[in-house]
Amino acid sequence: MIARDRVHGIRQDEEETLSTQRYSGSSIRRLEDRRLITGRGHYVDDIAIANLAYAEIVRSPFAHARVVSIDVEEALSAPGVIAVLTAADVLPHIHASMPVIECGISDRHQTPTQYPIAEHEAVYEGEPLAVVVAENRYAAADAAALVAIDLDPLPAVVDLDAAIEPGAPTVHDGAADNIGWDVHFPPSGDIDAAFAEAAVVIKERIVQQRVCAASIECRVVLADYNDELTVWHSSQMPHFNRLYVSEALGLPESKVRFISPDVGGAFGSKMGPYAEDYLIPIASKLVGRPVKWTETRSENLATTSHGRGQVFDVEAAASAEGKLLALRVHQLADIGAYFGRTGANPVISVHLSGGCYDWPMIEARSIGVLTNKMWTGPYRGAGRPEATHLAERVMNLLAEKLDMDPVELRRRNFIREFPHKNHFGFTYDSGDYETTLDKALELANYAGLRRQQQEAREQGRYIGIGIGSYVEIAGFGPSKMTAANQDEIGLTESAVVRVHPSGSVSVFAGTHSHGQGHATAFAQIAADALGVSIDKVLVKEGDTANTPFGHGTYGSRSVPVGGMAVYTACQKVVDKGRRLAAHLLRVSVDDVEFQDGTYVARSTGVAKQIGEIAFAAYNRNLPDGMEQGLEAVAFFDPPNFTWPFGTHICVVEVDPDTGVTSILRYLAVDDCGNVINPMIVEGQIHGGVLQGVAQALLEDVVYDPESGQRAGGTFLDYLVPTINEMVPTEVYHTVTPTPSNSLGVKGVGEAGTIASSIAVINAVCDALKPFGIHHIDMPASPQRIWLALHDAPAATAAKEPVPVG
C-alpha cells in the first residue's frame, strides 16, 4: 500500500484509520526537491530587477556607545554612491516603533523603544548607524568604510547576574535598571515545608548558552517603493512583516506586498521584523529605485537574532521513594538590547519546566534581563528545549541523589491522565509518555547498555547513557489563548483552496515553508480530502498578494494549524460540490455521499467525479442562489495547542584524557500524532537532533565580558555542525493522535532539537559520574570537560576515578 517502512512503530490501529486515505501517511518524495536540488530555486538574492541599487549597512562596532557625529561627506562623494542615509534621513519616514508583542507576559517592567537605526545611542554591536546606497555592492561596501563615525564608548552590560545588581550600568542610557520583566509564579501550596521535609533536595545552575541559527541562506531584503511598495524578503512570516512595515511607513496594507520566495532555512530567526525590513524600503523611497541588501555571513552571526541565552537556578525535592515533591525555578533570560518582536517568549521555558512529570508544586520566577547584545529570539524549539533540558537534568540529579535508576524515577512520576492541566494553566491534550520511554529502552537494549557501561568502566573507558523524555507545546495556537499575546491577532492559520474548471487544484496557504516541505505535505492533505491525484495539486505560499492573512511557519504549527486550514477549506469545497452534485443528479443533498473524489447518489447509484463537478461549477446549470466557482477560504482556529512528546536515548563515550565526547548511538522515539509524510518527519528528526547535539557539544556565541563585543564571529570559530558531525539517528514513533484537530496531527518541526541537547548532556554527565562530576553545561566542549575533570572533587587526576556502586 504505502511506503511506511521508513518510519517504524506506527501502531496497528493507526494503519486502519489511515487506510482510507491515499496519500497521507505515505513517504511521498518532496515535490519541491527537484527544483531546489538542481539549483532552480528562487531565493531573494536571485531576483533580477531593472535599475537595482545596492545597500550596505554601517554598523556600530561597540556594544554600547554614544553617537557623537556621523560625517557622510567623503562616502557620498565616492564612486558609484547614490545616497548615504543616517537616522536624520530615515526616522522622518517612520511613524511607529518596531513591534513587541506580549508573548507570555502582560506586565513588562520596561520595553525599550526600538527604531531601525540608532540616532544618539548604539546599544549593541552591529546596530545600524547608516545605510549606503550605491550602484553595486562593491561601491557600497567601499563607501561604507568612508562613513566617518565618531562614537563615544559607554560601559557594556554583558553578564546577567551583574546586570540585575542594584546600581549596575544600564543598557540604555538613563534607564532605571536592566530588568525587562520580573514575574513570580507562586506555588500552589507550602513549598518551603515541602523542601524542608523532603528526603532529597538538589540544587543546580543550568546554563543555556546563546546560539546562532546560522541558516544556509542569510537574510535578504529587496524593496521597490513605487506607487505601491513591494518587498521581497527571506522570511518565515511575510504577512506580519507587511502589517508592521506598512503601519510604520504610513501605507495602507493593501498597497504593500511582501513576497518571501524560496527561503533557505530560518529555524525561527527569520520571523522579524528586522531593522533592514524598514531601512531598505525607505532607502528605495528616498533614492527612487529598487534597492537590495544581502546580509553577509558575518552580519548574520552578529545581527540575526540569537537563540537560547537563559540561565536557570533550580531546586527540586523528592521523597525517599522517588516521588517528586516540589520544584523551584529561577530564570534569567538574556533579552539583548531590545526585545525583538516576540517579547517575553523565553517564559515558555518556565511554563514547561515541569516536563512530563506530575509535580505537586512548582514555584517560578522569571526575570528578563536587558544586555548590550543582539536580541535573542525564537530558535528551533524556543523555550521547550530549555524547559526539557532543565526538567530532565533535574530528574537525573534527583535520581543520582536517590541512588535510583533515572528510568525508574521517570516511571514513578510521569503524568498519566489526560487532558492534564499544568501549573501554568496549559492543558496537555493527550499522551502516553511511558510507552515512548519503554519503546526507546527496549530498542536501545537499556539493560544491555548498562552492562556494557559497567564492563567499559572496568577497562578504564567511560560510557554514558542519557535519556531525554519530553512533552512540548506545538500548533500555535488557539486564538482564545494567544490573541492577547499577539497584538489581538489570534494565531489561526489560513488557506484558500481553488478547484479550477479542469479539476486541478491550487492551494494558497498563509504559512511559509523554509524547508519543511509544505508543497508536499499540504498537497497530500488536499489530494486526500478532495480525492484528486496529487499531480493536480499545486501549493503556493509566501506572497501576500495571493494568500490570505497568515501567521507563517514556526512553533511546529504548519501542519496542525495550517494543514488543518487546508483541510477545512477542502471540506468547504466538498460541501459546495455536494450541493451541486445533488442538483445535477436530481437528488437531495442528504442523498449524496462523497468518497475518494466521487459524489454518489445513494438512492440511484449514479455518480459524478469531482472533476465533472468542478467543470459544472463554472457552467450555467447551477442550483438557485449558487454562485459560480469551486473554491473556499478557511481560517482554522485550533481549540488547544498540541502536545507532542517522546523519549530520546543517547550513548556517548568520553575520553578523560582529552575531554572528547563521541556519540556511539542515538535513538529517538517521537509521538507527533498522525503522520502525513513519514519521510519528512524522519528528516525533521534527523536535522533537529543534529541541531541539539551541536548546541550540546559545539555551538556558543561568546561575548567579551568587558567590551560586549563578540569573540571571533565567522564560521572559523562559530562551530556549526557539518555533515561530518551528523549523528546516525535511529528514528521510531508511537502514534497518539491529538483530539484537537480532525487530522490528529501534532507537529514535529522542533521535536528533534527539544530532546537532543539533554539526551547528550545527560549521557555526558552519566559518563563522568565516576569522577564525581554531577553536572556539565553546554557546550560540553573537550576543554570544558577536561577542566571539569581536573577540578573534579573526586579526581585530582583524570586517571583516578572513584569507584561507583
Partner 1 sequence: MIPSAFDYHVATDVADAEAHLRDGGDDAKVLAGGMSLIPLMKTRLVEPGLLVDIGKLDELRYVRVHDERLHIGALTRHADLATNAVVRENLPLLAKVAAEVGDAQVRARGTIGGVISHADSAGDYCTVAIMLDAEIVTTRRRILAADFFLDFMTTPLEPDELVTEVIFPVEKGPSEYLKFRRRRTDWAMVGLGVQRKSDGALRVGLTNVASRAIRGTAAEVAVGEGGDAARAAAALADEVRPTGDAAVPAEYKKALVRVLAERALRGLGLS
At 142, the amino acid letter reads D
Phi–psi pair at 85, nearest 5 degrees: -110, 135
Residues in contact with 347: Cβ distance below 8 Å, sequence separation at least 6, in sequence order? 104, 105, 181, 183, 331, 333, 366, 383
Binders of partner 1 among residues 663 to 702 (CB under 8 A) are 698, 702
Q: Is 721 in the site for partner 1 (CB under 8 A)?
A: yes
Whole-number minimum distance, CB 705 to partner 1, in Å? 9
Q: Is 781 in the site for partner 1 (CB under 8 A)?
A: yes
Tell me the three-class secondary structure of 144-206, residue by residue.
Answer: HCCCEEEEEECCCCCCHHHHCCCCCCCCCCCCCCCEEEEEEECCCCCHHHHHHHCCEEEEEEE
Member of 46, 442, 657, 706 binding partner 1 (CB under 8 A) = 657
140-148, 228-236, 498-506, 530-538 -> range binding partner 1 (CB under 8 A): 140-148
Whole-number minimum distance, CB 304 to partner 1, in Å? 17
Member of 714, 728, 799, 804 binding partner 1 (CB under 8 A) = 714
At 650, the amino acid letter reads C
Nearer to partner 1, 139 or 610 (CB): 139
Q: Length of the chain, please? A: 805
Q: Is 725 in the site for partner 1 (CB under 8 A)?
A: yes
363-371, 522-530, 538-546, 779-787 -> range binding partner 1 (CB under 8 A): 779-787
**DSSP secondary structure, 306-352, as one string:** EEEEEEEEEEEEE-TTS-EEEEEEEEEEEEESS--TTTTGGGHHHHT
CB atoms within 10 A of CB 207: 15
Whole-number minimum distance, CB 505 to partner 1, in Å? 43
Nearer to partner 1, 31 or 143 (CB): 143
Q: Is 796 in the site for partner 1 (CB under 8 A)?
A: no
**Three cell numbers at 19?**
487506510
**CA 84 vs CA 19, 125, 381, 469: distances in Å:** 62, 20, 39, 53
Q: Is 20 in the site for partner 1 (CB under 8 A)?
A: no
Binders of partner 1 among residues 98 to 137 (CB under 8 A) are 137
Q: Is 791 in the site for partner 1 (CB under 8 A)?
A: no
**Three cell numbers at 675?**
503522520
403-411, 633-641, 646-654, 709-717 -> range binding partner 1 (CB under 8 A): 709-717
3-state secondary structure of 115: coil
Q: Could you give the CA distance from residue 423 to residue 633 in angstroms, rounded to a whole number?
A: 37
Nearer to partner 1, 711 or 802 (CB): 711
Q: Is 138 in the site for partner 1 (CB under 8 A)?
A: yes
Member of 127, 142, 637, 653 binding partner 1 (CB under 8 A) = 142
Member of 9, 169, 501, 782 binding partner 1 (CB under 8 A) = 782
Whole-number minimum distance, CB 711 to partner 1, in Å? 7
Which residues partner with 462 through β-bridges?
Answer: 654
Any idea which residue has 540616532 for its cell? 119
Q: Which residue from 653, 658, 197 is spatially nearest to 465, judged by alpha carbons?
A: 653
Whole-number minimum distance, CB 696 to partner 1, in Å? 13
At 378, the amino acid letter reads P
7-15, 139-147, 341-349, 634-642 -> range binding partner 1 (CB under 8 A): 139-147
Q: Could you give the CA distance from residue 303 to residue 279 in angstroms, rounded to a whole number?
A: 14
Nearer to partner 1, 141 or 199 (CB): 141
Q: Could you give the CA distance from residue 467 to residue 668 in angstroms, rounded to a whole number?
A: 10
How many of the chain's residues bind partner 1 (CB under 8 A)? 26
18-26, 87-95, 408-416, 776-784 -> range binding partner 1 (CB under 8 A): 776-784
Q: Is 717 in the site for partner 1 (CB under 8 A)?
A: yes
Member of 52, 483, 719, 794 binding partner 1 (CB under 8 A) = 719
Member of 17, 111, 296, 571 binding partner 1 (CB under 8 A) = 296
Tell me the three-class secondary structure of 452-513, residue by residue.
Answer: HHHHHHHCCCEEEEEEEEEECCECCCCHHHHHHHCCCCCCCEEEEEEECCCCCEEEEECCCC
Q: Which residues bind partner 1 (CB under 8 A)?
A: 137-138, 141-142, 145, 296, 298, 657-659, 698, 702, 711, 714, 716-717, 719, 721-722, 724-725, 781-783, 786-787
